[in-house]
Amino acid sequence: MADRDIDVVVFGATGVTGRRVAAYLAERAGESELRWAAAGRDRARLGDALAEVGVSAPETIVADVSDPASLQAMASRARVVLDLVGPYTLYGRPVIDACISCGAHYADLTGEMTFVREIIEECNGPATAAGVKIVQVCGFEALPPDMLVLMATEAARERWGEGLASIDLEVQVTPPGGMPRSSDGMSGGTFQSLAAVAGSKDAGRITDPAILINDAGVAAAVRRVSPIGLAPRSGEDGAVIAPMAPAPFINPAVIHRTAALAASASGRPAEPFRYREGMSLTGAAATLPVRWAIAGALSGVQMGLRGVARARPAIRAPLAGALARVGPSSGFGPSPDRLEGWHWRMSVHALTPGANEIRAHVHADGHPGYLATARMLGEAGILLAAAGETPAGAGCLTPAAALGTASAERFERARVRFSVED
């Protein structure tokens, strides 16, 4: 990539999250010699959208998923393409093909696991041969939990010479003050992605924690040891643990694939572990019934999504289409004044087969689904663009496998702080 004149391209920079990724790259470019560009279908619209967040891109590139030549022209100039044009099931493949063909690394924010599986099956070989990293699910789902679990695993091996047998990951989100708004929650892009997944031909596989693992024996062991649970449960110190939002079917598949990739890279047999996650709802004892009601409602939503995904195609496709029509569009998101002021943490409590205990944490600032995700994806793009900053290897990789745990401290610039307890 020595002849590339752009380090990172933000494709889809007019969207809610795309604009924030561009803003982060502009901020980082002021501290370094980063060369970045914004790309989209309309140059004038790009300029207007970026101006809304106070950003002027050094260069704007016209590219469209329906125009393969434009994608090739974009990818041939870049070290890394950050793709924010979703739903990815509908629009992601042409961008990935262009990146592999032109030798550019690729990262996106998809949570559409059947699409990720399809890309692994069909693109891992060509990407590996081209020396290209295809890094999907690289936002709040699933970069922080993926990195955190791998950090805990590596720490356990270093301290006790053994991996992990069980992992509990909990997320707690503290919103800013003021009246909550509907746009504070799930973005329109995320909703449309969920609808696209529910209507896909392999939708029934989204609940499979081993959907991203190729080895049949390892996949069977993961399904046996670590099924995905949707029921609310009790946590530590009176907390109520609700299913992960926006969907509990994303992080487990990524984390188990990372473990399989790490085992393969080190020449060890895979050792599947029990992984469990959820949103921690805390509060005074008097609020316990309310918290259980909220957790039950979230559980019901996820069970409904699972039911749609498992329905017969004749029923599933119309239901998914109806969801897409009645739900928020891809441009729906929070107002700028609701992006800051959020604080969130992830905590891992893990045990080794020998009953050794390890804890690891993420503390972060900014709306997790919009601002923090944009910063993390931007920093991931900068890492991928820099020679020698990430582990060697290519192909369809998870965030932790592609970036390596040594890069964790780099995310402090994105206001995401990783730590493993001594």
According to DSSP, residue 369 is labeled: I
Q: What angle do CA 368, 96, 15 make, to 5 degrees?
A: 40
275: helix, strand or coil: strand
Give the strands of the sheet with 416-420, arranged side by side.
233-234, 240-242, 274-281, 166-174, 343-351, 357-365, 416-420
State the CB neighbour count (10 A cutoff) for residue 356. Answer: 15
Please name the amino acid found at residue 284: A
Please list, residue by residue across 206-224, b when 16 or more beta carbons sit within 10 angstroms of its beta carbon and e when fewer do: bbbbbbbbeeeebbebbbe
Longest Cα–Cα distance in the chain = 63
Alpha carbon distances (Å) from 172 to 219, 242, 279: 30, 11, 6
Spatial separation of the C-alpha atoms in residues 29 and 118, rounded to whole Å? 35
Q: Compute φ and ψ for 147, nearest 5 degrees.
A: -65, -40
241: helix, strand or coil: strand
Q: Compute φ and ψ for 21, nearest 5 degrees.
A: -65, -45
Spatial separation of the C-alpha atoms in residues 122 and 124, rounded to whole Å? 6
Spatial separation of the C-alpha atoms in residues 148 and 108, rounded to whole Å? 19
Spatial separation of the C-alpha atoms in residues 239 and 52, rounded to whole Å? 40
Spatial separation of the C-alpha atoms in residues 257 and 116, rounded to whole Å? 11
pLDDT for position 269? 92
φ/ψ bin of 87: left (φ > 0), alpha (ψ from -120 to 50), beta (otherwise): beta
pLDDT for position 331? 61
Alpha carbon distances (Å) from 230 to 40, 126, 297, 417: 38, 36, 11, 28
Closest by alpha carbon to 146, among 405, 379, 373, 419? 405
34: helix, strand or coil: coil
Q: Is 197 exposed, middle or buried (0-12, 13-18, 19+ CB in 10 A)?
A: buried
According to DSSP, residue 368 is labeled: I
Run means of pLDDT, 10 residues per run, the chain, 422 residues: 89 93 95 94 94 93 97 98 93 98 97 94 97 97 97 97 96 83 63 70 84 96 96 90 90 97 93 96 92 92 79 75 68 72 95 97 94 97 93 96 97 97 84
State the CB neighbour count (10 A cutoff) for residue 286. Answer: 7
Please name the amino acid found at residue 274: R
pLDDT for position 213? 97
pLDDT for position 109? 95
Alpha carbon distances (Å) from 381 to 117, 148, 281: 22, 19, 33
Please list, residue by residue across 327-343, b when 16 or more beta carbons sit within 10 angstroms of its beta carbon and e when fewer do: ebebebbbeeebbeebe
